[in-house]
Chain A
């Protein structure tokens, strides 16, 4: 028996040392990453940063966005209409109707060359099915293609958001797809919700187009065209709201942009002569060629810089420009910085809607940690005192098991990179309260056995073996219900469930194996035991 106990003690000590070493090592690794080369972490830093804190403790932003995939579908549909028009140039097409996001109908006239239309549709619109009825051709996007487009839009949006967040510089961001068309974004340590939300949502669709007319009022501009209808090759674009001027100005620009955001190689914030902030962009080789040709041919004309369908500025072209341009406006330093950032990171394929937004400021997180720790320490001490009073020596046995439980739980959280949240702290302390149950079950059994006249050693053995099945039961029931909490996905509640589950699994080890070993250490060596202090 003596040998067996030695091995058990060795195993427990190894586990303890391993846990503490693991905790400290994980702490150093994480602290070093946090400091990012601005110094070497001390032991205190390491202990502080060993466990990953949730947004509710650390402060930060949690966002759930929906990608408006219909935007991407509409764009695909408009492209198809455009293609059909260009490819059937000589065939005169009638009116185009757009009944849904994924279908369009073309009315054919007497002059339309229907065989040509059929040919174009077969050759270029393979992802569309079409039917004809009463001189109307209806094109519908195939389901496979539709799913593909939606899927791509979400994947691309995710990638764009990731690029933007990376450029903004957030440590340990979480950007993940959720379900069909949702994206989850978690940014720990960010305390600028408004700015980050704008940064993510900004579609940043940049076009540079030649100005045909404007700025003027909408009515004045449309009156210039026959029937008050702006021709197809042009479009009406709203100007930027000017301070002090309620009336918005409008421009008529060419629909075909000279260059778009896709031609950009780089963009960076720049400071003008009078301390004004602007964004300078640089073009790719092919973009430069297009830009040089267009500006060279249109000296004296005005060029509208359109961002998200709004004219930012419309300077006149003074000279041939090839590889760079400036977006001027009344930007604050951070606005210029963020605009350059989104232009670099690329445009979003579709609009975004915020479905859920949770922000925790840094001071609340700090407060929660303090309160959580106070409550835990007080709660644990109360349990310890109760155990020591009620079970005397055996109570100390339970206290050691509980402390070990807490240490192992902390180490497991660090090693598995589990996130500690405020409800997680509650789970931590609840684990202590519940783990004590196993000790109580055993101790009560031992007392009962002693009352029934068993010898102390047999009473201890019987106590443990008889209580074992019940201990398994009590743990299983709590763990089963905690497992169902995990389905809430991310967030504080998941943190609670994770902490509770890990804690209870560990308590199986500490309350049975460790506590039993301590009893054996205490009473096992003696030949004669007169009484058990319990």
Chain B
């Protein structure tokens, strides 16, 4: 199967249109960020607390809000999390004034007290306690009478049982009744009876809890910014080393900044939050954008080595056409896996995948219309100023391993 057999599209004819479109997209992004008064940061960067909770029953979000508003934690955001049948919510608490407050503990305490009918203080909540506490409690009661037996250590004996109960809870998501907990396979009758008599099932399980203090948030912001700036510098250095030509380098870097700006702008437009994982995706894009550009550039350089004197625009157009099939295929293949991540990878990877989807599209487009177009425009401009009559071939030989079989540069230009 072949989709792009020897295409001969005059891509660069539309370069000014493309540049206009790029500017329009960038403007939309910048405008959005301006209207939103900056980017929406996730708690990695803004600091604050985020708690994902799964309930046994469908949660009443208004009630949760009322409970938490009374806790003196400042601004609270509550939204649904995952798919509706999982009864999960994501609770957001703003950055606290003072470093060190146990916000996660406070939130869970308030919710537990507000939602649970007061239970016997001697019973433990099997949906909230961890396995170590569960094990300690069972060991203290010692329903199987193992204490004092020479062959068994009560702690490790009951830790195994507690492990099984908690693993069972993880499988189910949450225990509805103590009986459900007691039905765990592989635990003794004594432990089962103890669970039925001494536990209650609280209204929710904490899926994850993140609390980022203001210092760490600021540190991460700084690190993220440095990472993006320095990787751009790294790319610049690599391209300078590989191509030793100012217009090519400028073209690649402008394309890279273009891709990052548009992606960030579109993410802002879609109301996505920026956190560490999104920065990871953006950095991946930095690599991907240059990667695509380099493939086109490599071909341009190779084509410039032929003795034939042609206008640069023709050479670049031909190079784009020659690499078009590869560009589309590679982008397509990467897109397939990213789409799989977007639809199947779950909540955490959702924005990550979306960033890559946008980035791949923009990156592919920019290799042609930004990176290549800039080289043409740059040289045109220079020619007009009569600094060069003929586009000068790029000088430096690439650092290439010995390839005895490769008769480079002597290719016949059939059918052109």
Contact with A along B403-416 (1 / 0, CB 8 A): 10111100110100
Chain B proximity of A31: nearest CB distance (Å): 15
In the complex, whether A355 has a CB less than 8 A from a CB of chain B is yes
Cβ contacts under 8 Å, B238 to chain A: 476-477, 480
- Is the beta-carbon distance between A363 and B54 smaller than 8 angstroms? yes
In the complex, whether B210 has a CB less than 8 A from a CB of chain A is yes
| Most chain A Cβ neighbours within 10 Å, of B140, B212, B338 | B140
Chain A proximity of B343: nearest CB distance (Å): 8
| Most chain A Cβ neighbours within 10 Å, of B322, B335, B344 | B344
CB neighbors of B among A142-194 (8 A): 168-169, 190-194
- Is the beta-carbon distance between A353 and B344 smaller than 8 angstroms? no
Chain A proximity of B411: nearest CB distance (Å): 7
Cβ contacts under 8 Å, B326 to chain A: 437, 440-441, 444
Given contacts A380-B337, A484-B283, contact A468 B401 (CB under 8 A): yes
Given contacts A389-B1, A481-B287, contact A362 B345 (CB under 8 A): no
How far, in angstroms, from A169 to B400 measured CA to CA in the complex?
Answer: 55
Nearest CB in chain A to that of B172: its residue: A363
Nearest CB in chain B to that of A377: its residue: B340
Which of B290, B345, B407 is the one whose CB lies under 8 Å from A462? B407
Contact with B along A429-466 (1 / 0, CB 8 A): 11011101100110010011001110000000110011
- Is the beta-carbon distance between A358 and B209 smaller than 8 angstroms? yes
- Is the beta-carbon distance between B333 and A436 smaller than 8 angstroms? yes
Which of B208, B330, B337 is the one whose CB lies under 8 Å from A432? B337
Contact with A along B87-105 (1 / 0, CB 8 A): 0000000000001101011
Cβ contacts under 8 Å, B401 to chain A: 468
Cβ contacts under 8 Å, A190 to chain B: 130, 132
Chain A residues with a Cβ closer than 8 Å to the other chain, count: 96
Contact with B along A378-420 (1 / 0, CB 8 A): 1110110011011110000000000000000000000000000
In the complex, whether B306 has a CB less than 8 A from a CB of chain A is no
Cβ contacts under 8 Å, B334 to chain A: 430, 433-434, 436-437
In the complex, whether B85 has a CB less than 8 A from a CB of chain A is no
Given contacts A195-B133, A453-B414, A477-B290, contact A359 B170 (CB under 8 A): no
- Is the beta-carbon distance between B136 and A491 smaller than 8 angstroms? no
Cβ contacts under 8 Å, B104 to chain A: 193, 357, 359
Which of B338, B403, B411, B414 is the one whose CB lies under 8 Å from A465? B403
- Is the beta-carbon distance between A429 and B341 smaller than 8 angstroms? yes
Which of A362, A366, A379 is the one whose CB lies under 8 Å from B336? A379
- Is the beta-carbon distance between B352 and A364 smaller than 8 angstroms? no
- Is the beta-carbon distance between A375 and B216 smaller than 8 angstroms? no
Given contacts A277-B140, A466-B406, contact A355 B216 (CB under 8 A): yes
How far, in angstroms, from A195 to B102 measured CA to CA in the complex?
Answer: 12
Cβ contacts under 8 Å, A168 to chain B: 132
Contact with B along A486-501 (1 / 0, CB 8 A): 0110011100110010
Can you list 20 A-B pairs with a CB-CB distance of less than 8 A?
Answer: A194-B105, A333-B136, A358-B209, A362-B169, A363-B170, A371-B344, A375-B345, A375-B349, A379-B336, A382-B340, A426-B341, A433-B334, A437-B333, A462-B406, A469-B398, A474-B295, A478-B288, A484-B231, A493-B280, A497-B280
